[in-house]
Amino acid sequence: MSVLRAAQGDRAGAAPANLHRRAGVGAGTRLRAYAARVVPPLVLLGVILAGWEAAVRVFDIPFYILPAPSRIAGVLAGDRALLLGEAAVTLGEVLLGFAIAFVVGVVLALAIFSSRTVERAVYPLVIASQTVPVFAIAPLLVVWFGYGTLSKIVMAALIVFFPIVVNTVDGLRAADPDMVNLLRILGAGPAEIVRRVRVPAALPFVFSGTRIAIATSVIGAVIGEWVGSTRGLGYLMIHANAQLHVDLVFAVIVYLSVMATALFWTVSLVEWAALPWRRAETAAQAEGEV
Amino acid sequence: MAAALEITGLRKRFRRDGEWLDVLAGVSFDVGPREFVTLVGPSGCGKSTICNVVAGLVRPDAGTVTVSTGRVAYMQQKDLLLPWRTVLDNAILGLEIQGTPRAAAHEEARAMLRRFGLEGFERTYPATLSGGMRQRVALVRTLLCRRELLVLDEPFGALDAMTRAAMQGYLLRLREEFGRTVLFITHDVEEAVLLSDRIYVMAARPGRIRAERRLDLPRPRRATDPGVVTEKAAILDLLHAEMSEAFA
Which A-chain residues 250-289 have CB contacts (< 8 A) with chain B? 275-277, 280-281, 283-285
Inter-residue contact A183 to A193 (CB < 8 Å): yes
Question: B183, B6 in Cβ contact below 8 A?
Answer: no
Q: What is d(CA B213, CA A204) in angstroms, rounded to the nearest whole number?
A: 50
- Cβ(B231)–Cβ(B193) under 8 Å? yes
Residues A213, A98: contact at Cβ < 8 Å?
yes
Q: Between B55, B82, B125, which is nearest A179 by CB?
A: B82
What residue of B is the nearest CA neighbor of A286? Answer: B128
Residue-wise pLDDT tens digits, B47-105: 888 999 998 889 999 999 988 877 889 998 899 999 999 999 999 999 999 889 999 99
Q: Which amino acid, one-letter code, is at B106?
A: H
Predicted confidence at residue A289, as pLDDT, reads 57
Query: What residues of B are in contact with residue A196 (Cβ under 8 Å)?
Result: 82, 93, 97
Q: Which domains does chain A have, with CATH numbers?
A: 2-58 (no CATH), 69-278 (1.10.3720.10)
| Least confident window among A9-18, B18-27, B40-49 | A9-18
Q: Could you check whether the bond before residue B220 is cis, i.e. omega within 30 degrees of 0?
A: yes
What's the pTM? 0.79
> How far apart are alpha carbons A25 and A3 in whole angstroms?
7
Helix (H) or strand (E) holding A253: helix A246-274
Distance from CA of A208 to the nearest CA of B (A): 17
pLDDT digits (tens, 9 = 90+) for A31-45: 888 888 889 999 999
> Using CB atoms, which residue from B73, B94, B128 is nearest to A283?
B128
Q: What is the pLDDT of residue B23?
A: 87
Residue B157, CA distances (Å) to A102, A136, A160, B78, B163 in order: 43, 59, 45, 9, 11
User: What's the whole-number average pLDDT of chain B?
Assistant: 88
- Asked whether the beta carbons of B225 and B241 are under 8 A apart, the reply is no
Question: Is the model's pLDDT at A205 over the cut of 80?
Answer: yes
Contacts of A9 (CB under 8 A, 6+ apart): A18, A19, A22
CA distance B69 to A157: 54
pLDDT at position A256 is 94
The Cα angle at residue A153 between residues A149 and A155, in degrees rounded to 5: 115
CB A268 within 8 A of CB A211: yes
Give the one of A187, A276, A277 whose C-beta lies nearest to B97's C-beta.
A187
Dist CA A186 CA A197 (whole Å): 13
**pLDDT at res. A288:** 67
Best A8, A186, A205 member to test B by mutation, with max B CBs in 10 Å, is A186
Angle at A84 between CA A78 and CA A87, to 5 degrees: 135
* Closest approach of A118 to chain B, Cα-based (Å): 27
pLDDT band at residue A6 under the 50/70/90 scheme: very low
Average pLDDT, integer, range B19-28: 87
Strand residue runs (E) in chain B: 5-16, 19-31, 36-40, 62-67, 73-75, 149-153, 181-186, 198-203, 208-214
**Per the CB < 8 Å rule, is A200 touching B82?**
yes
A178 interaction partners in chain B (CB closer than 8 Å): 76, 78, 80
Of B80, B83, B98, the CB nearest to A182: B80
Interface of B with A (CB under 8 A): 55-57, 71-74, 76, 78, 80, 82-85, 93-94, 97-98, 124-128, 145
